[in-house]
Amino acid sequence: MSKLILYGTEASPPVRAAKLTLAALGIPYEYVKINTLAKETLSPEFLRKNPQHTVPTLEDDGHFIWDSHAISAYLVSKYGQSDALYPKDLLQRAVVDQRLHFESGVVFVSGLRGITKPLFATGQTTIPKERYDAVIEIYDFVETFLTGHDFIAGDQLTIADFSLITSITALAVFVDIDPVKYAKITAWIKRIEELPYYEEACGKGARDLVTLLKKFNFTFST
């Protein structure tokens, strides 16, 4: 097997999604920490690897892949002993893909980045109420996705769970997940956190992000 190198910062939800995929597959790899706050992704060396200057970035035998969704799908397709994490069945895969697009286009962009970008870029600590409403809508959708299922795309663990667990738990820093209203989400989070590789691949990074975000004295406007 060719040498794999993952570039990232552990507080990043997408980086942890890729790390969960690698851990689930049992693939050895080198992890290179990138300080995004110090703008290391803008260095000429990194830009040659990834002109979009994002993490995670995966290096596989001199080839570079970025975007956690693309990385996870690639890893399962190339190195998975089975297709369980990213099914080859077209209908099952379509459901997984829909959840991945939901995470990237709705949960991450509209939910998480919509809140965190103003925090980091301009120090805007008063978050518009519509951002709160957007998070609640996201929770409502995820609760619906989990109706009748243990996992986000059906009855088996997939890379969609890895993408969504990292971003949904990050949103919970800003908007608590009501364990009564969102009982299915609460049970799902616990189910994922009990995976034997979760703590090493994701747990510490998740706590690092919580610590970082709570340094901002943020409030929602009314």
Active site residues: 12
pLDDT in tens, 36-46: 989 999 999 99
4-79: CATH topology is Glutaredoxin (3.40.30)
Task: For residue 51, give Cα distances in angstroms to 39, 47, 48, 66.
Answer: 13, 5, 6, 10
pLDDT in tens, 37-90: 899 999 999 999 999 999 999 999 999 999 999 999 999 999 999 999 999 999
Q: Domain residue spans in the chain?
A: 4-79, 90-220
Class of domain 90-220 as given by CATH: mainly alpha
Residues whose CB is less than 8 angstroms from the CB of residue 17 and which lie 6 or more positions away in sequence, other chains included:
56, 68, 69, 72, 159, 162, 163, 165, 166
pTM of the model: 0.97
Evaluate if residue 25 carries a pLDDT over 80.
yes
